[in-house]
Structure 1
Amino acid sequence: MAVTDVPLFQALKSKMLWHQTRQGVLAENIANADTPGYGARDVKEYTFAEHIGRETFGLSTLTTNAGHLTGTLAGQTNAKVEGRDTFEVTPNGNSVNLEEQMMKITENQMDYQAATTLYTKGLGLIRKALSKSA
């Protein structure tokens, strides 16, 4: 069993993938800040409780058409993009508030950095424990 197969590390990897997905959605919101009728979106909140119930061991896609690409599901999350009701709507129907989106991006970045720090520190502790046992 690889060290990265430990459930804690799998949960942290899923959390980091969720943050990457959210970063993309928030970037789309900012890119469409001037698009008439565009509604701000966000990703459904990630919880570790939902991660515990999922099993992604050995899953892969099936090629049913010659034009399809094969691959694995290791890099995907179950993140669901949702439209958000907002208080502010511009006269052209756009509901993107740039200040709010920038705050969400900053929060997302800080949470991602916290997850990567936990992941790195955990691996470091395991490496240290294994090197001292020899």
Structure 2
Amino acid sequence: MFELPDVMRMAQQMARHAAARQVVLSENVAHADTPGYQARDLPSFGATYNNGLSMRATRAGHLGFEDTGGIPAARIDTTAPARSPNGNTVSLEHQMMRAAETRQSHDMALSVYSSARGILRTALGN
């Protein structure tokens, strides 16, 4: 069976990570005025990418947790700025900067995937 080259698999995982991070950041923005809400974020892609060497759940409930496609769960952002008087740690400026970083990461993943696809097509003669 045909298997994706490693560079394409990595680019696909990077795009998934960027999409998941964008969801977390948008939730933070949505809760910017919620009293006591603590900003959350995902670990960087580099810290979580493991080249497929770790154990994976092959079906629901396998290994005691659900398969999330290799995307780690969001956790409390310890680098968030100081709390507002109502206990909220969301800074809209901080979230917008992270959203821009995430978009760049997603665009890079798509560019790598597209380039690898072009090289593969050329190699196959299509």
Aligned to 1:45: 44
Give the number of the structure whose alpha-carbon radius of gyration is greater: 1
What TM-score, normalized by structure 2, do the two folds share? Answer: 0.82
Unaligned residue ranges in structure 2 (runs of 5+): 62-66
Q: What runs of 5+ residues in structure 1 fail to find an aligned partner?
A: 63-72
Q: In the superposition, relative to structure 1, how do residues 26 and 97 fare at CA in structure 2: closer, same or farther (>3 Å)?
A: same
Distance of 2:110 and 2:71 partners within structure 1: 19
RMSD: 2.5
Question: Structure 2: which amino acid aligns with 1:30?
Answer: V
The share of aligned pairs that are identical, in percent, is 29
Deviations, residues 52-97 of structure 1 (Å, cap 9, x unaligned) = 22365x92336xxxxxxxxxx5x72232311012232110000000
Q: State whether structure 2 residue 110 is matched by structure 1 residue 130.
A: no
2:40 touches 2:75 (CA, 8 Å); kept in 1? yes
Query: In the alignment, what sits opposite 1:18?
Result: 17
If the length of structure 1 is used for normalisation, what is the TM-score? 0.78
Q: Which amino acid aligns with 1:128?
A: T
The 5 A counterparts of 1:74-93 are: 76-85=69-78, 86-93=80-87
Q: Which amino acid letter does the alignment assign opposite residue 21 of structure 1?
A: A
Cα pair distance change 1:16/1:54, threshold 3 Å: farther
The amino acid that maps onto 2:100 is: T
Question: In the alignment, which residue of structure 2 is the partner of 1:110?
Answer: 104
May I ask how many residue pairs the two structures share in their alignment? 121
Contact persistence 1:39–1:94 (CA under 8 A): yes
Query: What is the CA–CA distance in structure 2 between the aligned matches of 1:48 and 1:93, rounded to whole Å?
Result: 29
